[in-house]
Structure 1
Amino acid sequence: MSIKRTGSAVWQGGIKDGKGTVSTASGALQELPYSFSTRFEGEQGTNPEELIGAAHAGCFSMALSKILGDSDLKAERLETTAEVSLNQVEGGFAIESIHLILKAKVPGADAATVEELAGKAKAGCPVSKLFNATITLDVQTVD
């Protein structure tokens, strides 16, 4: 089985004076603006790294939900943040690490179980498998 999803970008101009938009075929994102200043200078708008972070957090959360279900557990709430680190390296920039932060409320599961299953989700989620980066995880359980 193969599932294909489509995202697109349009860019106009040079690297510093140009600007662009990103969109998804589903319409979830429609011409969302991005630019050098939104990526490197903190200006309002989006950037590829935060979109990657959102995708990774979403994928990880869904993977963990399945793994919990396979263990006869069901999350009341999984709140995941992905901190994507873009670093200047020789020859340009690279995403060298992603840090996942999970706040989980899973009735019937102790903290050690949630942490173990979250580790499996981190390793097994399709987006995690995409990266050539160090992926770390912090888990906080909520009663």
Structure 2
Amino acid sequence: MPARGSAEWKGDLRAGGGTFTAGDSISGDYSFKSRFEDGPGANPEQLIAGAHAACFSMAFSNMLAGNGTPPDSVKTDAVVWLRPVDGTPTITKIELTTVGVVPGVDDATFQELAARAKAGCPVSRALAGVGEITLDATLAS
């Protein structure tokens, strides 16, 4: 099943602005200020962060369930870092932080499955060109 999104930009880079949609229910405005100056609005890196957090949470939950220890919950935050590299804006790092409430699993297994989910989720695989993707996984008691 293909996933769909679209965007339109009007004007020049600094003064212009754009709108985007992702699927049927996600839409927003973006601008130079929202992307590079922490101004109001959204930016593509936020969409990547949300996609990565969602994909990882699903993949990790599936691995935990396959281990016979289905989670009560897996909550993941993602931070995407956009930095200049040789004068070009580049996603240089993604930090994943996840907390799982998982009855019956030990921390070593939890960590192993988290690492496998990070390596195997489709969004992680699509982002393989990012220089560094970190994972901080906490098993909540």
| Interval containing the TM-score (normalised by the shorter chain) | over 0.9
1:28 partner letter:
S
Task: Tell me the TM-score normalized by structure 2.
Answer: 0.95
Q: Report how many aligned residue pairs link the two structures.
A: 139
2:33 alignment counterpart: 37
Identity %: 43
Task: Give the root-mean-square deviation of aligned CA atoms.
Answer: 1.0
1:18 to 13, 16, 19: 16
Q: Which moved more, 1:39-48 or 1:50-59?
A: 39-48
Task: Find the residue that maps to 1:74 and give its secondary structure.
Answer: coil
In structure 2, stretches of 5+ residues that fail to align are: none
Does 2:125 correspond to 1:125?
A: no
Q: Per-residue deviation at 1:91? A: 3.8
2:43 to 38, 43, 47: 47
Q: Per-residue deviation at 1:106? A: 0.5
1:1-16 to structure 2, matched below 5 A, reads: 3-16=1-14
Deviation >3 Å, runs of 4+: none
1:87 to 73, 83, 91: 83
Mapped partners of 1:55, 1:127: distance in 2: 7
2:58 alignment counterpart: 62
